[in-house]
C-alpha cells in the first residue's frame, strides 16, 4: 500500500506506474482514492470543529442561564443538540469512508523500481547474470519423475489415493536428500548471520491481507473452514506478520531471519497442477530468508539476498542465472523482484527455483510495522527471498548430478547431512 500523500501530491506518477504494470483497469482507483481521501479529511475536520465547539457552547448555556436569558439559552441548547446529532452521523460515516479508502488503496500497486524492465508478462523478464557454465551430458537425461522412480525415491500413486493430485511421498535416500538440502540451507543462512525461526503454519486473515494482494490471496491460500485461519503459502507470510502493529527499535535493525516451513498452495490459474511430476504441487517445504530494515538499506539487502541463493546453488554445483522480473510480472506489493533459475540439462534451458523481492514499505503500511526515529517513527521496509525449495531444487539437483548409469552424485557440501553418503544408486 502506497502513501496517500503520494496520490494527493503526484497522482500522475501513480497513474503512470499503473500503466507500466499494464493494469489500466485500475486507473479509476486513483480518482476514487482522491475523492474518498478528500471526503475523509472533510469529515474529520467537521467532527473536530463540532467537538471543539461543544465545550464553548456548554459554557455559553451556563452563562446565559445565570443571566436569566432562558430563551437564548434554549436556542444554544438546540444548537448543541443539532451538533450532537451531526457528530453522531460523522462518527458513523467516517469509519465507513476510511474503510472504503483503505480497500481502494490496497488495490493500487506499489511504485516499481526505476531498474525494473517494462514488459507485460514473464516472457519479457530480462536475464542479468549467469553463474557456472551450463552443461549437457553425452547421455539422455530422463524426466525427473523417471529418475526419482528408478531411485525408488517417490510414490505418487499412493499420494493420489490418500490426498489427490498435486501430492507425493518421498522415500529412502531421496527423502534424506530432501532433508539434507533443507538442513544445509538452514546452516548456510545461519552462517550468513541470519537467525533461524520456525513460524506458525497458519495465519489470520488480517495477516494474509497485509502480506499480499487480494488477487494473490484468491489464487494461493487455503482457508480453514469455520475459522479465521489460512494455511501459509510461504513462511514469509507468518514471519512478516510476526511484527504486525509493532514499533521496532532502530538500533535492532536490520532484522535478518531465515525460516523453515511447509507451504500450501492452491496453484489456481494458467499453470495449475502438473499431471505428472513435482514441479508445481499443493504442498512442499522451503527455507526462506526475511529482512526488515530501514528504507535506505533495502536496495543493498535486495542485492545481497539473491546473491546468497546463487552462492548456495553454486556450492552444490548447480548452474543458475538471475532473471529480472518485468513490470507486468510483479505482484502488486513489489517494488522490485528477480528470479533465480537453475539449469535443466534435460530441457536445455533454465527454470525458476527461487524468487527475491523488495516490497519497500508496502507490507509495513498494511501491517503497521514501524521503527523508532529521533523525530518519531517511520515505516520499515520488508524483503523476502527463497533460500531453497526442495521439490524444484530436487529436479535441478538430480538432472545436474545424474550419471549415465542412473545413479546420482552427492556434492561434498552435503556429505555431513547425508551421513557420509556420496551417491544415490538405482535400486
348 & 265 share domain: yes
42 & 158 share domain: no
292 & 384 share domain: yes
21 & 138 share domain: no
292 & 151 share domain: yes
For 188, the grid coordinates are: 548456510
**Whole-structure pTM value:** 0.89
Residue-by-residue pLDDT tens, the chain, 427 positions:
899 999 999 999 999 999 999 999 999 999 999 999 999 999 999 998 888 887 777 767 677 777 777 787 777 788 888 888 889 999 999 999 999 999 999 999 999 999 999 999 999 999 999 999 999 999 999 999 999 999 999 999 999 999 998 899 999 999 999 999 999 999 999 999 999 999 999 999 999 999 987 777 777 889 999 999 999 999 999 999 999 999 999 999 999 999 999 999 987 555 555 567 888 889 999 999 999 999 999 999 999 999 999 999 999 999 999 999 999 999 999 999 999 999 999 999 999 999 999 999 999 999 999 999 988 999 999 999 999 998 899 999 999 999 999 999 999 999 999 999 999 999 8
139 & 204 share domain: yes
On whether the CB atoms of residues 415 and 389 are closer than 8 A, the answer is no
Place of cell 519423475: 145
Residue 164 lies in a domain: yes
CA dihedral 207, 210, 215, 220 (to 10 degrees): -30
Instruction: Indicate which CATH number applies to the domain containing 191.
Output: 3.30.930.10
91 & 168 share domain: no
16 & 100 share domain: yes
CA 277 and chain centroid, separation? 26
Total domains present in the chain = 2
Give the whole-angstrom CA distance, residue 24 versus residue 1: 18
Residue 293 lies in a domain: yes
| Beta bridge partners of residue 257, listed in sequence order | 195, 290
Residue 111 lies in a domain: no
Residue 247 lies in a domain: yes
For 381, the grid coordinates are: 521496509
Residue 117 lies in a domain: no
Instruction: Indicate which CATH number applies to the domain containing 37.
Output: 1.10.287.40
In this structure, the number of other CB atoms found within 10 A of the CB of residue 21 comes to: 22
On whether the CB atoms of residues 211 and 236 are closer than 8 A, the answer is yes
Domain boundary among 48, 70, 105: 105
Residue 173 lies in a domain: yes
Task: Note down the domain range covering 212.
Answer: 122-424
Domain boundary among 105, 138, 162: 105
Whole-number pLDDT of residue 374: 87
Place of cell 494474509: 208
Residue 418 lies in a domain: yes
End-to-end CA distance of the chain: 53
143 & 256 share domain: yes
Residue 114 lies in a domain: no
CA-based angle 381:321:298, to the nearest 5?
10
148 & 96 share domain: no
82 & 201 share domain: no
87 & 229 share domain: no
Domain boundary among 36, 71, 105: 105
* Helix or strand (DSSP H, E) at 184: helix 172-191
In this structure, the number of other CB atoms found within 10 A of the CB of residue 139 comes to: 12
Question: Using the 8-state DSSP alphabet, how is residue 109 labeled?
Answer: P
Going from the C-alpha of 272 to that of each of 67, 135, 167, the distances in angstroms are 81, 30, 13
Whole-number pLDDT of residue 316: 97
Q: Which residues of 310-340 are buried (b: 16+ CB within 10 A; e: fewer)?
A: bebbeebebbbbbbbbbbbbbbbbbbbbbbb
Q: In the chain, what is the greatest distance between 2 CA atoms, to the nearest angstrom?
A: 109
List of residues 6+ apart from 384 with CB closer than 8 A: 234, 236, 239, 240, 288, 289, 290, 291, 356, 357, 359
Instruction: Determine the 3-state secondary structure of 421 from DSSP.
Output: coil
Amino acid at each position: 500500500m502506497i502513501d496517500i500523500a503520494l496520490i494527493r501530491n503526484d497522482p500522475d506518477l501513480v497513474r503512470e506506474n499503473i500503466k507500466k504494470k499494464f493494469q489500466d483497469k485500475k486507473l479509476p482507483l486513483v480518482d476514487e482514492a482522491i475523492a474518498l481521501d478528500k471526503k475523509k479529511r472533510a469529515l474529520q475536520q467537521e467532527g473536530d470543529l463540532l467537538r471543539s465547539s461543544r465545550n464553548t457552547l456548554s459554557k455559553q448555556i451556563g452563562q446565559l442561564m445565570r443571566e436569566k436569558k432562558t430563551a437564548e439559552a434554549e436556542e444554544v441548547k438546540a444548537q448543541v443538540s443539532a451538533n450532537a446529532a451531526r457528530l453522531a452521523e460523522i462518527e458513523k460515516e467516517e469509519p465507513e469512508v476510511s474503510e472504503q479508502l483503505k480497500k481502494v488503496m490496497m488495490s493500487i500497486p506499489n511504485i516499481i523500481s526505476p531498474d525494473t524492465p517494462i514488459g507485460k508478462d514473464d516472457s519479457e523478464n530480462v536475464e542479468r547474470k549467469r553463474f557456472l557454465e551450463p552443461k549437457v551430458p553425452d547421455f539422455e537425461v530422463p524426466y525427473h519423475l523417471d529418475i526419482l522412480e528408478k531411485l525408488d525415491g517417490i510414490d505418487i500413486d499412493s499420494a493420489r489415493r490418500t490426498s489427490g493430485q498435486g501430492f507425493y511421498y518421498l522415500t529412502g535416500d531421496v527423502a534424506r536428500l530432501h532433508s539434507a538440502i533443507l538442513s544445509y540451507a538452514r546452516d548456510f543462512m545461519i552462517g550468513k548471520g541470519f537467525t533461524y525461526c520456525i513460524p506458525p503454519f497458519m495465519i489470520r486473515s488480517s495477516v494474509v491481507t497485509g502480506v499480499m494482494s487480494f488477487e494473490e490471496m484468491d489464487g494461493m491460500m487455503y482457508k480453514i473452514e469455520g475459522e479465521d485461519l489460512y494455511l501459509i503459502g510461504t513462511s514469509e507470510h507468518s514471519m512478516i506478520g510476526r511484527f504486525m502493529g509493532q514499533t521496532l527499535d532502530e538500533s535492532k535493525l536490520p532484522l535478518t531471519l531465515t525460516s523453515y516451513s511447509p507451504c500450501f498452495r492452491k496453484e489456481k490459474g494458467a499453470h495449475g497442477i502438473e499431471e505428472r511430476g513435482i514441479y508445481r504441487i499443493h504442498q512442499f517445504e522451503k527455507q526462506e530468508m526475511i529482512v526488515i530494515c530501514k528504507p535506505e538499506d533495502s536496495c543493498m539487502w535486495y542485492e545481497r539476498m539473491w546473491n546468497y541463493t546463487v552462492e548456495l546453488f553454486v556450492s552444490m554445483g548447480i548452474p543458475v542465472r538471475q532473471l529480472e522480473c518485468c513490470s507486468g510480472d510483479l505482484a502488486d506489493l513489489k517494488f522490485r523482484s528477480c528470479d533465480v533459475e537453475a539449469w535443466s540439462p534435460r530441457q536445455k534451458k533454465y527454470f525458476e527455483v527461487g524468487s527475491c523481492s523488495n516490497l519497500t514499505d508496502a507490507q509495513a503500511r498494511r501491517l503497521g510495522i514501524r521503527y523508532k526515529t529521533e523525530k518519531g517513527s517511520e515505516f520499515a521496509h520488508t524483503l523476502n527471498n527463497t533460500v531453497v525449495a526442495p521439490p524444484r531444487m530436487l529436479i535441478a539437483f538430480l538432472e545436474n548430478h545424474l550419471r549415465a548409469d542412473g545413479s546420482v552424485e552427492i556434492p561434498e557440501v552435503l556429505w555431513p547431512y547425508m551421513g557420509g553418503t556420496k551417491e544415490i544408486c538405482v535400486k
